[in-house]
Structure 1
Amino acid sequence: MTKTSMRRPRASASGVPVARRLATACCLALLAVQAQAQQASDQTRSADTQDQATTLDSVKVTGIRAAIANAVEKKNEATSIVETISAEDLGKLPDVSIADSLSRLPGLATQRVDGRAQVINIRGMSEQFAGTLLNGREQVSTGDSRGVEFDQYPSELINAVTVYKTPDAALIGQGLSGTVDLQTIRPLDLSERRVVFGGQGEYNSLGDLSDDGKSRGYRASASYVDQFADDTFGVALGIARLNSPFQEQHYKSWWWADLDRVDWDGPYQAGRPLNAIALQGDEAWIKSRDLQRDGVMAVFEFKPNDQFHSILDLYYSKFDQDEVMHGTMWSNASDFVGENGLGTSYTNAQTTDKDGYPVVTSGTLNNVQPIVRNDSNQRQDKLFSVGWNNAFKLGERSTFTADLSYSRAKRNQSALELYAGRLDGQSIDFDLMTTPGYSQFALPDMADAGAVYLWDPQHYNHDGRLEYSRQKDTIKAGRFNFSHDLDNEVIRSVDVGVNLNKRTKEKSADVFFAFLPGETPTLVDPSLLQSPVSLDFTGMGNVLAFNPWALLDPYYDVVLSESNDDQRKDFVVEEKVNTFYVRANIDMDLTDRIRVRGNAGMQYITTDQSSTGFNASNTSVITPLTNGAQYSDFLPSANLIFDFGEGWLIRASAAKVMMRPPINYLSADAGAGVATTGPEAGLWSGSGGNPTLEPYRANAFDLSFEKYFGEGSYVGLALFRKNLQTYIYRQNLQWDFSGYTPDPDAPTPISNIGTFNTWANGTGGYMRGAELSTALSGSLLGDWLDGWGTQLNVSYTESSIDPDPNDDSAGTDTIPGLSKVVANATVYYEKHGFSARLSQRYRDGYRGEYSALFGQRQYRNTLSERTLDFQLSYAFPEGSALAGLTLIGQVNNLTDEPFRTEVSESTGTGLFFPEEYTKYGRQYLLGFRYEL
């Protein structure tokens, strides 16, 4: 994908979005491709045939081409607007993770977290707006809200994925942006036994960055599928293990400001040019992560006759992450007090002009006390899902289905940080970049074991911090469906059903402070030190490195010490959601040449939600709170496909959709109290979560033009619009504080009504966009291109929603996850056993939502990125001594694409400056797959 093709579309002079021009161009492209594909006319069909897709299994293909052909056929046959991923066989999805595979679909993008694809954004909306299912059942999350972390699901155990971009009345657990349904294999769909196992060695190009990091890992998997008792009973078993190293070279500038533009309380920084914008803090570190994931899948299928069909699905995964960090950071704000009570100052400060503003970019910063951080972050996630589906045929036309399921996720996490540093103020030479990259600094030796002490250089009032956090998410659900075939030329069948769902999410945390006895700076015993860690990528040299757990007991007193914010992290949210639905399945001849199929129906959803948390107004008054709400939604939907024959389809969809609020927004936590002085004396005020929140609600409209031709080839143009009736953002509300306990020394409240700052439903807006996608086989253009093929897609999305209308600061006017341009390009060759695939993903800059300090959530302006992956394999032919063996090599993040963010200048200039710049290295994998 060339750089030119990635340019962001702009509005024309008449105000018509370029997206509309793109739609016109796409229609012309469809006609051009149709002209080139007329040689495939043997694939056409008569108007009265009921086949809705070109038959793709008439020619035996394997590998990438087979997977694409299966996916295209499923897309063609679907009664909704969908995108699909289909493995040719169990364990043969082409990417390392499900998130990587999903991010190649039109309108989807991945958000990288810690160097790996983890969550999925659909059509410009963050993971919080998407529903995630496993075999059609809603899934829990190991995160603190609803967004599912897809790296918990091994690609080796997933056989297919369907992404529903439009609602379906019989689809449970739908999202507002879309719904992702992960699917495991059905053993009776196969006609023979399959035994497959494989393995890959893994290497990270950054190497061993520290004594407690590693650069090598592995992946291993095995699966068994078989049928018994005359193909009436089937078993599928799979296991996958991942042991993967992830490395990180990280730099971040904290914030930039012209402190002369504000009323600043601290001392003036001598030597800083007047009205110059200056960097106010920095950090650099290396991180090493050891990820270990064990996944197990089991499917038992029983179909003794046409009247009874039973499937039991089980999935379990355990994900362990051991992360270590060694680095340094400092504040150079003017109010920071350094050695002998003197503030920081500049020597030889030089400025660079940036859009008319002087920016300090080089010089020496004096009297700074850098802190050396050694951190350990350990996390264990456990996922378990079980579902039992039983279908009973009632006569010739009716089927009753009962589906029971249980899904549970547990996370236990510890985060330990210990501090060290030199005892006196230091001078730091610096050379800063005003564009993304590693700025350069010259520090004193921060690895000198005789000069770097354990102590509190940045005056945090403790010498270390330890937090234990726990959370548990469970869903218990039962679904009952009745289907009946009709003798009707329009409505062929109807589905009527109910899904009963109870979800409970619990979260708690304990915070401890570590103190040196007598608060006396202490040198570390050299026998407990590791080799110094290099930060030369920023010019900072080496820093002192040690295992913080090895020092905690010998050197520190550990005391439970929780602030109000820590107390408010504990909460329970419970939701009881009942979904009643009816769907009519349509298949009719509209004219002699146009056939219409699809569905229309509605869902009626009742929700009863509640939360228990704590009001922590000060450390002496901690009172439990319980609050909640009840509401209902009527959600009609219609999906119609107009089939014009010869592979031409038009899909149209209209629906009302909703998405319940992020679970962490529903917490009943609060910091509320009664004012003791001033004009507000006797009045309640506070802030916290809102258990009475109602959902995001929207009206959705979709239109898709598609042309299918040849073997696994198509071109499609999709247009969509969502009109959000409400969006959730923080507001000041009139709040009833009945049941809240005031502080003992507070006056008697004048009234129980006061002001509360919390999440609330507010003004909405539109989301709209266009998606152009294609899968093309080279053989369409001639036999000389047989074996070659490509998949291409590009999408443009825009929104009128302001997610922070009460915040006038720059950089907060786009909703999380919105990249205006998302594009993917894959070129592959597969023939004579050889297979090669080169894929690039691109997404425009966006506002990402990430975990921040002490487990809080934070929005950050994330810059555009391109990631390039390469895969090469060779399958030994049938009849050879090594038949069934495939050798595989992969390189992920081939160009070592950095993760980049930017931050707005803090005093209102409207300028943006570099924030984070992190590299994760290339990931090399080499291994095999063997099928018996």
Structure 2
Amino acid sequence: MQEGTSLEKRLTSAMAVLAVCHVGAALAQERAPAVVVSGKRASLASAQEIKRDGIGIVDAVVAEDIGKLPDISVTDALQRVTGVQILRDRGEGAGVAIRGLTQMETTLNGREVFTAGTGRNLDFADIPAELVAGIDVYKTSSASQLEGGVGGTIDLRTHRPFDFSGRQIAGSVRAVRGDLVKRTQPQLSFMASDRWTTAAGGEFGVLVNVAHQKRAWREDQKSAGNPVARTDVVPGQTVVVPSGTSETTSLGDRERNAGGFALQWRPDRALELYAEGSYAEFRTVQDSQQINVSAAPTFVAGSPVLFPGTADLKSITWTDAPFSVLSFARDTTDRTRQIAAGGRWTGGALTLTADLSRTSGTDQLFFSGPYFAGTVARFTQDVATTVPATRVAGTNLLDPANYRYTGIGYRTRPYDGGLTAARIDGTYRLENPFFASVSAGVRLARRSAGNAPGLIYADTGVSGLSASDKPGYVMPNPYADFFPGQGVPSIGTFLVGDLATARDAIGLRRAFGITAAVPPSASPLSLWAIREDTRAAYVTTRFQGAAVDGDAGLRVVRTRERVAGSQAVPTTGALAPIDVDSSHTDVLPSVNLRYRLQDGFYLRGAASKTITRPDFNQLSPSLTLVANTVTPSLNQGSAGNPDLQAVHSTNLDLAAERYAGPTTSMYTTVFLKHVDGFVTNVAGPETHDGAVYLVSRPHNGRDARIAGAEAGYQQFFDTLPGWMRGLGVQANYTFVHSAMSDGAGGDQPLPNLSRHSANLVGMVERGALSARVAYNWRSKFLSTYTNVVGVGALPVYLRGYGWLDASVTYRLSDRVSLALEGTNLLRTVRTAYYGVPTRPQGAWINDRQVGLVAMLRL
């Protein structure tokens, strides 16, 4: 505590000295210019100008272009950037990867920002799209940029009052309806900005921006279960059979509440000061109804059918198959806050900048609900269809007497994190025909993360009660229309838990005679607290000749990590505290070159070394165990490794770019990354408290090679005749090949990386009409590995899929516009399989969302 106080005092003192000397604050990396242009294609021109004028390789999306498609969050907007791939969660964009790497640096106005949890980065799904002025994706590195991203850096830029020439007021009202959930929810946004001339001749500006989003959603998921090797299905042959089916309908609301303010003061030409802050809250409220039917020891004679030429089971009818029903409420809440102050001072050839910021965040999970079990007389499954077909017969699943209560689930889990950071930068313009300037800076930061009181796991068994004994807690499944429109039979009609009381978790437990108090804390083995101090310094020079310009620099970073937790003594099983204190220094050179072959035609080259520090849960020595009360063989656990080292990458990029007009360009890039010490998890059985768990632990050591190419093109076809004038197109394609050592002399691809991905956007800008149709596609990719007893480690592949969004906007006047929007218009079904297509893993379907929007600008 004393060390933390002294660091904050030093940071505060440094800022005070800067204020006295009229030194202002700046961004953690060079802020992309605020290009303010008008006209129907302003957004494309702004983004293209940012890409063209950057010394490194950067892609940009600006606010107006984000608003022309129905992008709910920043993640949705990122999916169309060349080289970026995203995952899907509840019908929205989820995880983000740059060229296949999720190890990136995330910043807000150049300052490091994060979502509290086990990782280091910001979850871009937390941020409403309306809150940003632009998004810059840096694929190459400069010494002045924050370290931490072997994949790259994504910077979110928010509006500032000096971005506008005067008063600016804008807002929107949106109503969005999901066709599966059959509910409509509102979304609102508002921004007000103004600037004034002070009595002393300076300028002062104020900006406020807020957004509220609520979206009703539904997701249906169907799984065939893990493959199981059996010798009793076909005489004399080992057959791989699906272990059953898992059919889940989840629905609820996703709510984002976010806001920010910015103050700017320019007392004279030399000095500019600012203060700004932001808050983002992202809450998911979820009700899930899940039925699981397992493969049984017995089956109907003659019913097993194999896929031709394989030992994989295609269809079968099991008899006396056990089933379980899990009904639960699962709610999560992320909160992130950041406040900062600083400015910029320029005197002659010297510019000094500085920044002081404080970021904090929390993440919380709540889980509660009843569990049931029973047996069905016959269970038939056929996994040959895209969505596996399932049926039950011989047992009335609407009869409460066929269900017995097995337990009441209850879990909570918090995360918290904090960051105090300060930096000072200086740039001196040189009177030299080639070397234009030299820049240097330092940054001090303290990052903290913890999970106390940990995962409170208080699932409690219930015995001796059937559903007919307490009929008030069950009801017919209201979502019997499972996977609508797919024409594949599912169980659908069965009893589920009534979740009206699930969020009164203590009351629900008492209703079933559970009087044991919920533990105030998880096992000390699962708790961890991490503090990380970094001190970084850099120097870089900007050079500019007749046809070539660029920068070259060196960044040196000293990192000290202190990891605290507990571990079990192997001989006695007693708990002992663990406190690991380590430090290391990284030297990160970089160079970026841009060669102007002719007007509008550039060649670029970049080389750098970058790092990413391990995630916090990977560093933690603590052990988390999650017992499965229904199927103990599925007991799982996870633990960290405080001896993990940072991941290092050596990067090379070459690009060619052609700019033929304000909104017309084409480009191609090839890149190569060699990543050392890639962190991977190794799972193995461990016995704890007499029970066997499959425990996953991270290790360094694997190397990875990522090589690929990107290409993009955009243009409006203004020379076309008649109604075709105003048509335009944006298209990009990314190829990425990855190979990671598997530790046994072979290679495997990186997880969640598609070899091919592409975006195609058709555009119309004609008078008062603006329209966009956007198709995002990615090819098959490795999702994860699953260890299956008797079968071994199986890769899980998600098949390639496309996602179609569209928007049509009509401008009623210079101040009012109306829009009709649609997302997931194809109602895409995503499917996965274990290793080969004849071993299906799961399928997912989400809502088609349609929205009406009214936009006002004063």
SS of 2:304's equivalent in the other structure is strand
Offset of residue 623 of structure 1: 2.7
Give the TM-score, by structure 1 length. Answer: 0.79
Deviations 1:57-76 (A, max 9, x none): 89x522xx211111001100
Offset of residue 817 of structure 1: 2.7
Match of 1:900 in 2: 831
Q: Residues 840 and 89 (structure 1 numbering): CA distance in 2 closer, same or farther, change over 3 Å? A: closer
After superposition, residues 454-853 of structure 1 pair within 5 angstroms as 454-456=404-406, 463-507=407-451, 508-516=454-462, 519-523=464-468, 525-537=470-482, 538-545=489-496, 546-547=498-499, 548-549=502-503, 551-557=508-514, 559=516, 568-589=525-546, 595-616=547-568, 621-669=574-622, 688-730=639-681, 758-779=697-718, 785-802=724-741, 804-805=742-743, 813-848=748-783
Alpha-carbon distance in structure 1 between the residues aligned to 2:845 and 2:97 = 22
Offset of residue 762 of structure 1: 1.1
Letter in 2 for 1:570: L
Alpha-carbon distance in structure 1 between the residues aligned to 2:521 and 2:795 = 23
Letter in 1 for 2:56: S
Alpha-carbon distance in structure 1 between the residues aligned to 2:760 and 2:323 = 45
Q: Residues 870 and 473 (structure 1 numbering): CA distance in 2 closer, same or farther, change over 3 Å? A: same
Letter in 2 for 1:115: G
Offset of residue 217 of structure 1: 1.1
Offset of residue 645 of structure 1: 2.6
Asked whether the equivalents of residues 272 and 349 of structure 1 are also in contact (C-alpha less than 8 Å), the reply is no
Alpha-carbon distance in structure 2 between the residues aligned to 1:87 and 1:863 = 32
Match of 1:252 in 2: 223
SS of 2:342's equivalent in the other structure is strand
Alpha-carbon distance in structure 1 between the residues aligned to 2:696 and 2:729 = 51
SS of 1:691's equivalent in the other structure is coil
SS of 1:259's equivalent in the other structure is strand
Which stretch has the larger CA shift, 530-539 or 276-285? 530-539
Alpha-carbon distance in structure 2 between the residues aligned to 1:431 and 1:671 = 35
Offset of residue 729 of structure 1: 2.9
After superposition, residues 41-190 of structure 1 pair within 5 angstroms as 60-62=38-40, 65-88=41-64, 95-125=71-101, 127=102, 129-190=103-164
Offset of residue 757 of structure 1: 8.8
SS of 1:533's equivalent in the other structure is coil
Q: Residues 743 and 351 (structure 1 numbering): CA distance in 2 closer, same or farther, change over 3 Å? A: closer
Which stretch has the larger CA shift, 778-787 or 816-825? 778-787
Deviations 1:889-911 (A, max 9, x none): 1110010112322223xxxxx67
- Percent identity for Structure 1 against Structure 2: 23
Offset of residue 272 of structure 1: 7.5
Letter in 2 for 1:238: N
SS of 1:816's equivalent in the other structure is coil
Offset of residue 732 of structure 1: 11
SS of 2:455's equivalent in the other structure is strand
Alpha-carbon distance in structure 2 between the residues aligned to 1:606 and 1:330 = 54
Deviations 1:789-811 (A, max 9, x none): 11100011102213x42599xxx
Deviations 1:467-506 (A, max 9, x none): 1100001111111111111111111111111111111111
Asked whether the equivalents of residues 147 and 610 of structure 2 are also in contact (C-alpha less than 8 Å), the reply is no
After superposition, residues 276-295 of structure 1 pair within 5 angstroms as 276-295=239-258
Alpha-carbon distance in structure 1 between the residues aligned to 2:744 and 2:368 = 36
* Pair 1:198-2:136 in alignment: no
Q: Residues 850 and 207 (structure 1 numbering): CA distance in 2 closer, same or farther, change over 3 Å? A: farther
Match of 1:750 in 2: none
Alpha-carbon distance in structure 1 between the residues aligned to 2:689 and 2:413 = 30
Letter in 2 for 1:920: N
Unmatched 5+ residue regions in structure 1?
Answer: 1-52, 209-214, 261-267, 334-342, 457-462, 590-594, 673-685, 734-741, 746-755, 853-857, 878-882, 905-909
Match of 1:887 in 2: 818
Offset of residue 655 of structure 1: 0.8
Alpha-carbon distance in structure 1 between the residues aligned to 2:850 and 2:796 = 30
Offset of residue 544 of structure 1: 1.7
SS of 2:238's equivalent in the other structure is coil
Offset of residue 421 of structure 1: 3.1
Alpha-carbon distance in structure 2 between the residues aligned to 1:205 and 1:731 = 41
Aligned length: 785
Asked whether the equivalents of residues 194 and 225 of structure 1 are also in contact (C-alpha less than 8 Å), the reply is yes
Match of 1:380 in 2: 333
Deviations 1:200-234 (A, max 9, x none): 111111134xxxxxx22121111101111257111
Asked whether the equivalents of residues 513 and 561 of structure 1 are also in contact (C-alpha less than 8 Å), the reply is no
Deviations 1:68-127 (A, max 9, x none): 1110011001111000001249967762221111110111111112321022111022x2
Asked whether the equivalents of residues 322 and 373 of structure 2 are also in contact (C-alpha less than 8 Å), the reply is yes
Match of 1:315 in 2: 278
Q: Residues 139 and 445 (structure 1 numbering): CA distance in 2 closer, same or farther, change over 3 Å? A: farther
Alpha-carbon distance in structure 2 between the residues aligned to 1:484 and 1:198 = 44
Which structure has greater strand proportion? Answer: 2
* Pair 1:918-2:854 in alignment: no
Q: Residues 301 and 272 (structure 1 numbering): CA distance in 2 closer, same or farther, change over 3 Å? A: farther
Asked whether the equivalents of residues 181 and 251 of structure 2 are also in contact (C-alpha less than 8 Å), the reply is no
Match of 1:872 in 2: 808
Q: Residues 584 and 200 (structure 1 numbering): CA distance in 2 closer, same or farther, change over 3 Å? A: same
* Pair 1:240-2:176 in alignment: no
Q: Residues 303 and 708 (structure 1 numbering): CA distance in 2 closer, same or farther, change over 3 Å? A: same
Asked whether the equivalents of residues 816 and 859 of structure 1 are also in contact (C-alpha less than 8 Å), the reply is no
Offset of residue 328 of structure 1: 0.6
Alpha-carbon distance in structure 1 between the residues aligned to 2:324 and 2:561 = 45
SS of 2:617's equivalent in the other structure is helix
Asked whether the equivalents of residues 219 and 241 of structure 1 are also in contact (C-alpha less than 8 Å), the reply is yes
Q: Residues 585 and 120 (structure 1 numbering): CA distance in 2 closer, same or farther, change over 3 Å? A: same
* Pair 1:397-2:349 in alignment: yes
Deviations 1:545-603 (A, max 9, x none): 311346433124154689999654321122112111111111122xxxxx112211010
Asked whether the equivalents of residues 476 and 494 of structure 2 are also in contact (C-alpha less than 8 Å), the reply is no
Match of 1:26 in 2: none
* Pair 1:352-2:306 in alignment: yes
Offset of residue 276 of structure 1: 2.7
Alpha-carbon distance in structure 1 between the residues aligned to 2:601 and 2:833 = 45
Q: Residues 87 and 154 (structure 1 numbering): CA distance in 2 closer, same or farther, change over 3 Å? A: same
SS of 1:416's equivalent in the other structure is strand
Q: Residues 111 and 667 (structure 1 numbering): CA distance in 2 closer, same or farther, change over 3 Å? A: same
Match of 2:189 in 1: 221
Asked whether the equivalents of residues 531 and 562 of structure 2 are also in contact (C-alpha less than 8 Å), the reply is yes
Offset of residue 173 of structure 1: 4.0
Deviations 1:516-557 (A, max 9, x none): 3x6444535444444533445342132223113464331241
SS of 2:335's equivalent in the other structure is strand
Alpha-carbon distance in structure 1 between the residues aligned to 2:186 and 2:402 = 38
Give the TM-score, by structure 2 length. Answer: 0.86
Asked whether the equivalents of residues 373 and 420 of structure 1 are also in contact (C-alpha less than 8 Å), the reply is yes
Asked whether the equivalents of residues 354 and 424 of structure 2 are also in contact (C-alpha less than 8 Å), the reply is yes
Letter in 2 for 1:226: D
